[in-house]
Amino acid sequence: MSSTRIIAIANQKGGVGKTTTSLNLAAALALHRRVLLVDLDPQGNASTGLGIDYDQRARGSYSALMGEEEPTSLPQPSNVPQLDIMPANADLAGAELEMIDADRREYRLHDALQMIEGLYDVILIDCPPSLGLLTLNALVASQSVLVPLQCEFFALEGISQLVRTIERVRRAFNADLHLEGIVLTMYDRRNNLSALVAEDARSFFGEQVLDTLIPRNIRISEAQSHGKPVLEYDRNSSGARAYQALAEELLKRQHGKGGL
């Protein structure tokens, strides 16, 4: 059995920090491990955030789902050492419809990743903001789910639906799937609401809320507009330090549970 950890980064809400967490956690993990980031959102923001040009996106996660190409040929190097990416392109927007009648439609990504997982220690999957067939493919292909929770009004709204989806996937497709953790994002220490959301999340999910808080930090969004992870853009920013701490926390937690 392979020792590669495959983690889906999912929350059906948009704008909660899935893509930001995917690409910055991937870059921070790449300081320690060989990492692949799969961009599974038709918006392609993770690909943009890692500086992948549009003309480099013809082959990527869409090709993997369609089984059109040899999966091992799909990852591309990013501008970060030890970090490869399987980019998303506009075709991915039609993939859910195209897969409806396909063979093993829930397992398309799983089947492709099985062919390449040996090349990596960790694979992160950036999910789109829905619980459709793309996210389902990510959950079926993964061992765990990392859920970013934005420290804002209604943060917990929709979480029970996500938890039910994870349970359904576990029963029907992937018995090993577990919750990697909840990561609180865009935390603002000057705003009482952030502290309240953190408290609510901890009383609801207990230990499953990770210790590392991702602060709201302008350097994080600036970095994305420059096509770089924040670690490359400003490694001393609070955002860069937080994503490094998150990577270390996950590596340590996994250690206890069998090692990342």
Stretch that binds ligand ADP, among 15-23, 56-64, 101-109, 250-258 (CB under 6 A): 15-23
Binding test (CB under 6 A) with ligand ADP, winner from 144, 224, 237, 244 = 224
Strand order in the sheet with 209-215: 76-77, 83-86, 35-39, 122-126, 5-9, 144-150, 178-187, 209-215
Taking the complex as a whole, the smallest distance from the CB of residue 86 to ligand ADP amounts, in Å, to 17
* CB-count exposure of residue 8 (10 Å: 0-12, 13-18, 19+): buried
Alpha carbon separation from 18 to 107, 150, 171, 244, 258 (Å, rounded): 22, 10, 25, 16, 25
Nearer to ligand ADP, 18 or 110 (CB): 18
- Rounded Cα distance, 65 and 71, in Å: 9
Binding test (CB under 6 A) with ligand ADP, winner from 4, 6, 10, 20 = 20
Residue 221 binding partner per list ligand ADP, Mg ion, none, with a CB distance cut-off of 5 to 8 Å that depends on partner kind: ligand ADP
Number of shown-chain residues binding ligand ADP (CB under 6 A)? 18
Residue 135 binding partner per list Mg ion, ligand ADP, none, with a CB distance cut-off of 5 to 8 Å that depends on partner kind: none
Residue 108, interface with ligand ADP (CB under 6 A)? no
Residue 21, interface with Mg ion (CB under 5 A)? no
**Residues whose CB is less than 8 angstroms from the CB of residue 102 and which lie 6 or more positions away in sequence, other chains included:** 108
**Residues whose CB is less than 8 angstroms from the CB of residue 221 and which lie 6 or more positions away in sequence, other chains included:** 20
Residue 14, interface with ligand ADP (CB under 6 A)? yes
Contact residues for ligand ADP (CB under 6 A)?
Answer: 14-20, 45, 129, 185-186, 214, 216-217, 220-221, 224, 239
